[in-house]
């Protein structure tokens, strides 16, 4: 990620409407963004009550889908969406 960019992570409804968006965090570091995203996906899937082996597969699939498409699909209660934004530089 470039120095003058940030990633905004949102929690949203299944239709990804703008009024349902709730900011989870703004990340300047891609590693922290990935870590927080994985934590949220893991918590959401493990709370669903599925068998652990199935949960592991779902966590991996959802995390990879999120990293590729900047959104999740098929989480139980909500979806995640990420947007990259450009930061202003003060001179």
Contact 88, 21 (CB under 8 A): no
Q: What is the maximum span of the chain, computed from C-alpha positions, in angstroms?
A: 54
For tokens 């889908």, the residue is 65
Mean pLDDT value across the chain: 87
How far is 24 from 81, CA to CA, in rounded Å? 10
Q: pLDDT (tens digit, 9 = 90+) per residue, 22-58? A: 999 999 999 999 999 999 999 988 887 777 778 888 8
Which pTM does this prediction carry?
0.84
| pLDDT over 60 at 3, yes or no | yes
């Amino acid at each position: 990620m470039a120095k003058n960019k940030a990633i905004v992570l949102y929690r949203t409804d299944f239709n990804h409407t703008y009024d349902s968006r709730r900011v989870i965090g703004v990340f300047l570091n891609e590693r922290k963004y990935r870590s927080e995203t994985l934590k949220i996906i893991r918590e959401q899937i493990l709370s669903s009550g599925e068998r652990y082996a199935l949960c592991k597969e779902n966590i991996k699939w959802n995390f990879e889908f999120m990293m590729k498409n900047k959104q999740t699909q098929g989480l139980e209660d909500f979806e995640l969406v990420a947007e990259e934004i450009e930061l202003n530089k003060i001179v």
